[in-house]
Structure 1
Amino acid sequence: MTDTVMDEVRGAQETAVAGDRAGARVILERLWASTGDALHRCTIAHYLADLQDSVEDELHWDTLALSAFPGLTDERARSYDASWQARAFLPSLHLNLADVHRRAGHPDEARQHLAAAEAAVDVLPTDDYGTMIRAALTSVREALATGSTAPLTPPSG
């Protein structure tokens, strides 16, 4: 099934990778305003968070991404990609919130989201994506343990 919104999200990501972060934000914000679909909203907010210039704005969009998750079903996720399951979104959503709370100086909230991400890590695939998320969890855990609020390189999932 073709999903034109997800196609536009992918195009916005390509725009961002090409260096036009502001242009990508415009596309994603337009898509956000035009859809109530949980898959779209989780995905759009997740990517919009990565395009923000402030930790506060990033936190806002990461929070919106997680708040859209309860409406996402396995059936909806699989209608886009047969290999997807809704719960597999949780490690990345919580990872991003753990990292942004850490950078914002909210260690308690960061630890809560890190624990939630780690509790859901069993659903991650054993592919490059799963490896990336697991490595990012380790990096956030280590940065949190040292009290660092510095951005991680590369950015979390």
Structure 2
Amino acid sequence: MTVYDLAPFAEDGVRPDSPTQQWRFPIISHPYPRWNYITALVVHDHEALWTAVMPSDAELAVVASFHDEYMTRWYNPGYRARMADKYPFDVDGGANGRYLLKVADGNWKYRKRTWDHGPWPFRDDEPMDLLPLLDRIHTIGGEPMPHWTEWKSRHADVFAAVTR
């Protein structure tokens, strides 16, 4: 495993002991990071915002699959290898990063890097579990896009672990 200097990512609150580094996305401490992560999890205890809790191991695996689906669909293996040589996380200034957050009551929220107002798209009275949230991210119109439903079918064992 490559050893990276994580100091440049410290201002985003990246922890060197993050269990998600193996999947190339970070856990950050605020929802407006400096770096253009393709996927990131927000975990913090700032009272001014939401308390964002650490997901379960099964949820982390689902987020890893969500991240891998994006990387597989949009980046060829050569470019992915170059990214891996340069940084500990998948970053791309041209990608619209997806930042996921699990709130203390177990519901999930997300935002995209380019959103310039409103921290998260859902009101607090609209609870959402992880899988419906990921489906919503992949939905245009009324149903999730075929590439996402096919991905979930091919990785059903990962997704089954968080299905209620």
**TM-score (ref. length: structure 2):** 0.26
Q: Which has the higher strand share?
A: 2
Q: Which has the higher helix share?
A: 1
**TM-score (ref. length: structure 1):** 0.27
